[in-house]
């Protein structure tokens, strides 16, 4: 067995995982100092802009231990945000151990615990590391204490480091070698490699990220994916070293990539097992349990003829994000699209942004919804996450909606405004604690539906950015919900229907109408925008018609100018959606998702 | 496949005279102030005419516009007009228009213009209200405008058109009506009434951008437009284009209608545009540069565009729906669901149908910029 350690860095969001990864990479001498930039593994623009990790990243570090032995340390940096915990669980499947980071000024937080449990489920060795010891607010003793009591690990075993200042890094490297076990597995056994990630490259096809559990794979081998028995000839295998670094082979215990000219995107499934065609493994490796989506929304291309391109983009995108669920959907107003299930609100945002940026899509997303359990009078129960399938109210006995326990951390002075915000969102069973002087943790039970609608934006704004928000699903409860339809000149815009709490129906309908009123351009006729429950109008706004829209002169040189302006306007029109005879721009569909920050 | 009623009509000749005594703050026409290039310009224009217009024709219109053609000295103007008469051929009844500013008009020059063979004079009076003329930065007074018009009526060519500008802050509906009445006291054959536009590259445009000059509100602009239309229509004038009115349809501006029907026009002079068979080209926007280029090769074209069928159709819509000619029902039929759209527009009161044509109503004129967008020309 070669001298290998496979490990992940896990922690709550912002505790310094990516920064620690930076120091380890530098310590290994992988990048010259002048090419270095902070959070080197956060390679996507969107990660850098938001300062968070979204995708797990693997990098193989060469390391010479104190005993003079040469090791390969496969580091996986993982995201801390709860919406991406699926990324963490897949990373853990290719590791023997983890570094569990705890921010010395924050102590143990929700995802510290959740990720520790995940590591324990995989029977991984855990080394606690207290980070950010350079901070004036660092309280190492408190952190050790929390590791003891809240995590049930030995606080005295925790390493101390400052990823930012680069202190304690050699100790961390040494501990990886000394305290984490090497991989086991027979390099001569039949090949069994677990696909834990993939992405699509236009030139080379699907690039598979995998952990070899047993056996060996070389360029030239014919491999087979075991779930669907598709075979390919291997073109290249190698390590991740910031860039891909080709090797002759990958053997048991190693983590790396495989390229086999896989151009059919659907042939590759994350969680599948790769084996050799002529000497297959006996059994498929245990894959990953899918995480259940909690937020749903439909996506449509802005222009109808871009649908095929969206199909292709989604297929390729989902290679790289196995947690996205989607199925065909269609709307009278928006044409063909997809109903998607997301692991949370941030996930929804990221999917939209990545599709737009990396795959050049222009999208319209419908109002996010949760999944309701609807009990019908005839005794059956159905699950509905799409307003389009909301049953006729007369057939409904009762509706249940998902509840969460929200946890909000903030400086004490924001207590009043946060409390008010939560009460508006039907918070119940509220509670608060003081985890440290001046800081307050507020918990409350709330309908999930109340937070998927702009709650986070509002929280950020009332706490001036100081509030952080996290939640757990705690089950279903009965709720008084109704479906609100939005009509434009009496035509219902199916994609704008909402399922909301009855108390909020009027306010939400008005907001939607107002959003549309602001974004739908004036036209040559009057436009009525209405919100309705069943046949009953509960909100109304009007867009007045143009009264005068004509320029005075049109002679020789003016004609081209006028024509060009019309051509531009016509092009813009093509990207609008027609509802009856009214043109609705993409922005209007987005506006419905926003509230005025009041 | 265009819808040009006088597609086969004779071509028109335009000369852009690029000089003004001073620059009006609202004007974005190309002109230079205090230029010493008048006679060089006349020579160049004639040279350009030899190059572009000699073999064409006969033309049934000549339009001397600008700028301010009346800035030219009597000799310069005579040289230009007589020169064009030698170089190009015109039909016997050709419409020959000269744009003039009131401050250039005297009984003597008015007589001279008639003797030169000009038969239509367009006087840039703009308003007959002292305050408004000052606001518009015009050189003449209300009194000067009246005197100029008297001189033209008494000594000048027979056919008179008067230009007015309206629709700005400070103008009352009374003064607007009074200006129209004043114009009518000269029994004009034609009126062009332009709602003031704050063009970006003008003094007014810049003042507007700085917030120092307000545009009228939409409702007020609409009211002004209706006052003008009503006042002039009530005198039985023919409202044949958004901003143009003729005593009878026989005295519509024959030349300007060519622009709206895709008829061939040749434009001489700096910044002038020419159109022929789906191709539009334009000259350099600088007098010295123009003179130099024409001296070299008889041509000062700096840009051109060849219109696709689709673009011609779009222009047909946009131009047609600005005029009382409208578009033909046959043309509407060639547009995808064109007749359905026409029906909707009829229902909305924006057009009427009759005599095989779809013509905009007064309400249609008010919304003319948006009308072509209602049709799908794909
Ligand atoms: N003072 C101090 N700041 C640190 C230290 N380590 C990380 N940070 C800062 O903490 C912030 C978050 O660091 P990241 O490395 O992006 O945290 P992360 O755990 O990777 O965050 P996610 O990937 O979003 O979960 C950054 O501003 C870092 O500069 C440290 O040791 N000391
Ligand atoms: S409005 Fe007439 S006179 Fe005034 S600058 Fe323009 S072209 Fe010259
Ligand atoms: Mg990170």
Q: What is the pLDDT of residue A2?
A: 61
CATH (one of 3.40.50.720, 3.30.450.20, 3.40.50.300, 3.30.70.240) for A372-479: 3.30.70.240
Residue B301 belongs to some domain of the structure:
no
Reference B191, options B143, B140, B134, B239; nearest CA is B239
Domain harbouring B133, CATH code: 3.20.20.70
pTM for the structure as a whole: 0.73
> In this predicted model, what pLDDT tens digit does every residue of A502-511 receive, in sequence order?
998 999 999 9
CA B39 from chain center: how many Å? Answer: 25
Q: What is the pLDDT of residue A581?
A: 84
Question: Distance from the CA of A258 to the center of ligand 3, in angstroms?
Answer: 25
Same domain, B366 and B218: no
Show the tokens assigned to A107: 């102590």
Show the tokens assigned to A210: 């995998």
Q: Is A553 on the interface with B (CB under 8 A)?
A: yes
Q: What is the mean pLDDT of residues B245-264?
A: 97
Q: What is the mean pLDDT of residues A55-70?
A: 92
Is the CB–ligand 1 distance for residue A162 below 6 Å? yes
Q: Can you give A517-546 as a three-state secondary structure string?
A: HHHCCCCCCCEEEEEEECCEEEEEEEECCC
Residues of chain A with pLDDT > 90, as a percent, come to: 70
Question: Within 6 Å (CB) of ligand 2, which residues are found?
Answer: B 20, 23-24, 27, 29, 31, 66-68, 101, 124
Sort A336 into a burial class: Cβ within 10 Å, 0-12 / 13-18 / 19+.
middle
Q: Kindly identify the ligand whose nearest atom is closest to the C-alpha of A16.
A: 1
Q: Which of B260, B282, B301 is the last residue of a domain?
A: B260
Query: Is A295-365's fold the same as A372-479's?
Result: yes
Question: Distance from the CA of A393 to the center of ligand 1, in angstroms?
Answer: 50
Same domain, B243 and B328: no
Confidence of residue A595 (pLDDT cuts 50, 70, 90): low
Domain A192-276 in CATH 3.30.460.80? The answer is no
Contacts of B271 in chain A (CB under 8 A): 557
Q: What is the mean pLDDT of residues A196-211?
A: 94
Q: Cα distance from A595 to chain B (closest Cα, Å)?
A: 29
Show the tokens assigned to A249: 């082979």
Show the tokens assigned to A511: 């907001």
d(CA A146, CA B250): 97
What are the Cα distances from residue A555, in Å, to A35, B221, B229, B258, B275? 59, 21, 20, 9, 11
Show the tokens assigned to B144: 């000067």
Q: Taking CB atoms and an 8 Å limit, are B348 and A560 in contact across chains?
A: no
Confidence of residue A396 (pLDDT cuts 50, 70, 90): very high
Asked if residue A129 lies in contact with residue A158, where contact means CB atoms within 8 angstroms, the answer is yes
Asked if residue A60 lies in contact with residue A255, where contact means CB atoms within 8 angstroms, the answer is yes
> In this predicted model, what pLDDT tens digit does every residue of B48-102 receive, in sequence order?
999 999 988 799 999 999 899 999 999 999 999 999 999 999 999 999 999 999 9
Reference A562, options B242, B9, B287; nearest CA is B242
Average pLDDT, chain B: 95
pLDDT higher than threshold 50 for residue B238: yes
Q: What is the pLDDT of residue B108?
A: 96
Show the tokens assigned to A151: 């995590």
Q: Kindly identify the ligand whose nearest atom is closest to the C-alpha of A38.
A: 1
The fold for domain A483-597 equals: Alpha-Beta Plaits (3.30.70)
Asked if residue B228 lies in contact with residue B193, where contact means CB atoms within 8 angstroms, the answer is yes
Confidence of residue A410 (pLDDT cuts 50, 70, 90): confident
> In this predicted model, what pLDDT tens digit does every residue of A39-61 receive, in sequence order?
989 988 889 988 999 999 999 99
Which residue ranges make up each domain of chain A? 4-179, 192-276, 295-365, 372-479, 483-597
Tally of structural domains, chain B:
2
d(CA A214, CA A192): 5
Q: What is the mean pLDDT of residues A557-566?
A: 94
The protein residue with its alpha carbon nearest to ligand 2, atom 6, reads B27
For residue A367, which phi and psi values (nearest 5 degrees)? -55, 130
Same domain, B76 and B152: yes
Confidence of residue B10 (pLDDT cuts 50, 70, 90): very high
Q: Cα distance from B108 to chain A (closest Cα, Å)?
A: 31
Domain harbouring B353, CATH code: 1.10.10
Only one residue has tokens 């249609």, namely B364
Of the partner residues A547, A549, A556, the one whose CB lies closest to the CB of residue B265? A556
Residue B236 belongs to some domain of the structure:
yes
Can you point out the beta strands (E) in B101-141?
120-126
Same domain, B61 and B187: yes
Of the partner residues A553, A563, A581, the one whose CB lies closest to the CB of residue B318? A563
Question: Distance from the CA of B310 to the center of ligand 1, in angstroms?
Answer: 58
Q: Which of B234, B260, B286 is the last residue of a domain?
A: B260
Residues of chain A with pLDDT > 70, as a percent, come to: 98
Domain A295-365 classification at class level = alpha beta
pLDDT higher than threshold 50 for residue B5: no
> In this predicted model, what pLDDT tens digit does every residue of A444-468 receive, in sequence order?
999 999 988 778 878 888 988 788 7
CA A26 from chain center: how many Å? Answer: 28
> In this predicted model, what pLDDT tens digit does every residue of A92-144 receive, in sequence order?
999 999 999 999 998 888 789 889 999 998 999 999 999 999 999 999 999 99
The fold for domain A4-179 equals: Rossmann fold (3.40.50)
Asked if residue A532 lies in contact with residue A498, where contact means CB atoms within 8 angstroms, the answer is no
Which residues, at least 6 apart from B366, have a Cβ–Cβ distance to it below 8 Å?
A: A547, A548, A549, A550, B222, B225, B226
Domain span at residue B46 reads 12-260
What are the Cα distances from residue A203, in Å, to A187, A222, A242, A260, A411? 31, 20, 19, 12, 51
d(CA B287, CA B101): 21
Q: What is the mean pLDDT of residues A478-496?
A: 93
Same domain, B106 and B173: yes
> In this predicted model, what pLDDT tens digit does every residue of A73-103 receive, in sequence order?
999 999 998 889 889 999 999 999 999 999 9
């Amino acid at each position: 067995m070669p001298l290998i350690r496979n490990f992940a860095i896990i922690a709550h969001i912002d505790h310094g995982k990516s920064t620690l990864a930076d120091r380890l990479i530098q310590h290994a001498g992988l990048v010259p100092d002048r090419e270095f930039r902070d959070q080197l593994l956060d390679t996507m623009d969107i990660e850098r802009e938001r300062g968070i990790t979204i995708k797990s990243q693997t990098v193989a570090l060469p390391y010479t231990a104190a005993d003079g032995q040469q090791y390969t340390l496969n580091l996986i940096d993982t995201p801390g945000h709860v919406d991406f915990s699926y990324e963490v669980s897949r990373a853990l499947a290719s590791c023997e151990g983890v570094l569990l980071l705890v921010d010395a000024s924050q102590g143990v937080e929700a995802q510290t615990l959740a990720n520790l449990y995940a590591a324990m489920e995989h029977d991984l060795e855990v080394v606690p590391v207290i980070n950010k010891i350079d901070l004036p607010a660092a309280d190492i003793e408190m952190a050790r204490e929390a590791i003891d009591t809240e995590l049930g690990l030995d606080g005295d075993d925790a390493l101390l480091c400052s990823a930012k200042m680069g202190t304690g890094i050699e100790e961390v490297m040494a501990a990886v070698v000394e305290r984490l076990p090497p991989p086991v597995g027979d390099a001569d056994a039949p090949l069994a490699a677990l696909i834990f990630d993939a992405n699509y490259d236009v030139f080379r096809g699907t690039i598979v990220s995998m952990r070899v559990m047993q056996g060996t794979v070389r360029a030239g081998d014919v491999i087979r994916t075991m779930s669907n028995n598709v075979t390919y000839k291997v073109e290249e295998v190698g390590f991740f070293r910031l860039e891909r670094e080709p090797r002759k082979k990958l053997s048991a215990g190693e983590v790396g990539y495989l390229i086999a000219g896989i151009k059919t995107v659907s042939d590759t499934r994350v969680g599948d097992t790769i084996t050799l065609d002529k000497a297959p493994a006996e059994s498929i490796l245990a894959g990953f349990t899918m995480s259940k989506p909690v937020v749903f929304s439909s996506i449509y291309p802005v222009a109808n003829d871009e649908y095929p391109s969206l199909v292709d983009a989604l297929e390729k995108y989902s290679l790289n994000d196995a947690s996205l669920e989607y199925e065909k959907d269609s709307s009278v107003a928006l044409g063909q699209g997809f109903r998607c299930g997301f692991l949370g609100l941030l996930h929804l945002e990221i999917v939209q942004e990545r599709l737009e940026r990396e795959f050049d899509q222009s999208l319209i997303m419908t109002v996010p919804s949760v999944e309701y359990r609807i009990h019908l009078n005839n005794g059956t129960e159905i699950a509905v996450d799409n307003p389009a399938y909301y049953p006729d109210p007369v057939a409904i006995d009762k509706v249940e909606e998902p509840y969460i326990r929200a946890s909000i951390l903030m400086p004490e002075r924001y207590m009043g405004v946060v409390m008010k915000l939560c009460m508006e969102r039907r918070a119940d069973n509220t509670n608060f604690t003081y985890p440290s002087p001046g800081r307050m943790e507020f918990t409350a039970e709330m309908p999930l539906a109340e937070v998927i609608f702009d709650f986070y934006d509002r929280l950020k704004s009332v706490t001036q950015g100081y509030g952080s928000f996290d939640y757990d699903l705690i089950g279903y409860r009965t709720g008084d919900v109704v479906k609100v339809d939005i009509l434009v000149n009496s035509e219902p815009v199916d994609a704008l229907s909402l399922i909301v709490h009855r108390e909020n129906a009027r306010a939400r309908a008005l907001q939607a109408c107002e959003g549309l009123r602001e974004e739908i351009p004036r036209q040559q006729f009057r436009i009525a925008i209405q919100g309705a429950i069943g046949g009953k109008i509960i909100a109304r706004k009007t867009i007045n018609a143009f009264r005068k829209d004509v320029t005075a002169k049109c002679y020789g040189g003016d004609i081209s100018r006028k024509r060009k302006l019309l051509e531009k306007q016509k092009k813009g029109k093509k990207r609008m959606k027609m509802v009856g005879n009214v043109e609705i721009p993409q922005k209007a569909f987005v506006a419905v998702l926003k509230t005025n920050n009041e | 496949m265009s819808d040009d009623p006088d597609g086969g009509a004779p071509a028109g000749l335009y000369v852009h005279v690029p000089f003004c005594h001073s620059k009006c703050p609202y004007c974005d026409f190309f002109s230079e102030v205090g230029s010493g290039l008048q006679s060089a310009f006349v020579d160049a224009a004639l040279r350009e005419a030899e190059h572009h217009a000699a073999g064409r024709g006969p033309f049934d219109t000549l339009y001397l516009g600008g700028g301010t053609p009346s800035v030219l000295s009597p000799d310069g103007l005579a040289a230009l007009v007589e020169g064009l008469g030698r170089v190009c051929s015109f039909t016997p009844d050709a419409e020959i228009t000269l744009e003039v500013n009131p401050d250039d008009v005297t009984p003597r020059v008015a007589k001279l213009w008639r003797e030169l063979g000009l038969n239509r004079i367009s006087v840039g009076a703009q308003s007959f209200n002292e305050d408004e003329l000052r606001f518009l930065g015009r050189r003449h007074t209300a009194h000067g405008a009246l005197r100029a018009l008297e001189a033209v009526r008494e000594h000048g060519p027979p056919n008179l058109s008067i230009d007015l500008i309206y629709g700005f802050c400070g103008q009352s509906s009374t003064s607007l009506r009074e200006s129209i009445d004043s114009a009518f006291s000269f029994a004009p054959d034609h009126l062009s009434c332009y709602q003031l536009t704050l063009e970006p590259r003008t003094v007014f445009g810049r003042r507007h951008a700085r917030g120092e000059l307000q545009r009228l509100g939409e409702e007020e602009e609409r009211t002004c437009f209706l006052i003008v239309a009503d006042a002039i229509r009530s005198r039985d004038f023919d409202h044949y284009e958004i901003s143009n009115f003729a005593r009878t349809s026989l005295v519509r501006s024959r030349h300007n209608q060519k622009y709206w029907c895709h008829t061939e026009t040749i434009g001489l002079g700096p910044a002038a545009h020419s159109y022929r068979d789906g191709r539009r080209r334009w000259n350099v926007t600088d007098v010295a540069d123009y003179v130099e280029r024409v001296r070299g090769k008889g041509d000062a074209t700096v840009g051109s565009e060849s219109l696709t069928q689709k673009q011609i159709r779009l222009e047909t819509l946009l131009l047609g729906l600005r005029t009382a000619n409208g578009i033909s029902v046959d043309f509407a039929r060639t547009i995808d669901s064109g007749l359905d759209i026409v029906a909707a527009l009829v229902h909305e009161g924006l057009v009427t149908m009759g005599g095989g044509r779809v013509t905009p109503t007064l309400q249609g004129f008010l919304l003319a910029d948006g009308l072509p967008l209602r049709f799908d020309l794909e």
